[in-house]
Structure 1
Amino acid sequence: MPHHSRLSTFVLDCEVDDLTPHVEFWSRALGKAVKAADEDGDGRYAVLDTADDEPILLLQKVDHASRIHLDIEADDIDAEADRLEALGARRIGFVKRWWVMEAPSGHRFCVVRPQRETFGPHTNHWD
């Protein structure tokens, strides 16, 4: 099925009790202002301010070891997950509104719904 996708987000998974000091660290380390210190009001997500043509920088409080993963946004997440499976990835599970995937290399990543209004010039078109 034809669909579109692109690199969306670098997610800094943080195994911590309080995300706040880590948001401050990454903000200062990357020279990016804090756009949302508590995006969903539950203390689990924070967003740093990036330009429209840059990937989103999201900090996420998690229960597993700290790491960085990426998100791929797609206008059809099931079609994108199918495409990636055909390349050798595997589906780990569906969480809320996205697929958690694993690359053949063992890296985890997510396929998410569009995170920005338009896909823009860096969009991949898949048939």
Structure 2
Amino acid sequence: MPVAIHHIVIDAHDLPGLARFWSQVLDWPILSVKPREVIVGPSPDAPLGLCFMPAGEAKSGKNRLHFDLNADPEVPGEREAEIERILGLGARRVDVGQTGDESWTVLADPEGNEFCVVRPKRDLIG
């Protein structure tokens, strides 16, 4: 049997604060809080979660890995509404070299980790 992804680990300077941000963005509960590890996930027995651990140094440069998030494709205007909600939680818009014609919006979390809010997957495939 192949291995499976258990957690995506995000280095952070403010573990509880960044965990709270992603908990609110994804509507996932904070499952565990320890001094050097905070875990967020859809449920305690979900196959995947986020684990926040102490960062050794400040972030420099563009992430080599990032999240692509999407909103409910059945609700008109939901993508834009979600972008505004996430900005209200503490994200900010960032420029990583976009032209302005992209089908995604690049944001960064409170510690500068980039992520995108994209159009529905069905629009990207095919």
TM-score in terms of structure 1 length: 0.39
TM-score in terms of structure 2 length: 0.39
**Higher RCO structure (Cα 8 Å, ≥6 apart):** 1
